[in-house]
């Protein structure tokens, strides 16, 4: 019986394997979007944290803690989105804004799966 239907079985198997193959145009994989990286750092400025607010107002900074403003990591992406890297409690997130002002927040893994900086890893 198998010999009599061997061509049909072979043709069915070929059709089964052929249907499992796909070309690149039907692929669901998304290409990542290129971004330019820039680090914006204030040129000057000092923050004072004082126990007594009156010391801060009067300019007496002897009992105050001094800190400097930190730099901001900004990604300008080719999909017309600007993304700002934020770290809070050892968790990195990205706040991305499109040209219409819509905001989307990404975890670090979500951001890295969607965007890349040409020639370097996103840190």
Over 90: is that where the pLDDT of 97 sits?
A: yes
51-61 mean pLDDT: 79
43-59 mean pLDDT: 78
Query: What mean pLDDT value characterizes the chain?
Result: 79
List CB contacts of 99: < 8 A, sequence separation 6 or more: 80, 81
> What's the pLDDT at 18?
58
For 14-32, the DSSP string reads HHHHHHH---GGG--PPPP
Q: How far is CA 65 from CA 13, 46, 54, 115, in A?
A: 76, 10, 14, 38
Contact predicate 37/115, CB 8 Å = no
Prediction pTM value: 0.56
User: Across 40-54, 55-69, 85-99, which has the greatest mean pLDDT?
Assistant: 85-99
């Amino acid at each position: 019986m198998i010999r009599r239907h061997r061509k049909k079985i072979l043709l069915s198997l070929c059709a089964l394997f052929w249907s499992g193959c796909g070309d690149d145009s039907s692929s669901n994989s998304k290409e990542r979007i290129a971004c330019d990286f820039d680090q914006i750092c204030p040129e000057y400025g000092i923050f004072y944290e004082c126990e007594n607010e009156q010391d801060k107002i009067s300019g007496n900074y002897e009992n105050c803690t001094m800190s400097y403003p930190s730099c901001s990591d900004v990604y300008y992406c080719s999909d017309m989105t600007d993304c700002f890297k934020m770290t809070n409690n050892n968790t990195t997130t990205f706040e991305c804004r499109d040209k219409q002002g819509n905001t989307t927040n990404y975890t670090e893994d979500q951001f890295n799966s969607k965007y890349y900086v040409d020639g370097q890893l996103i840190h």
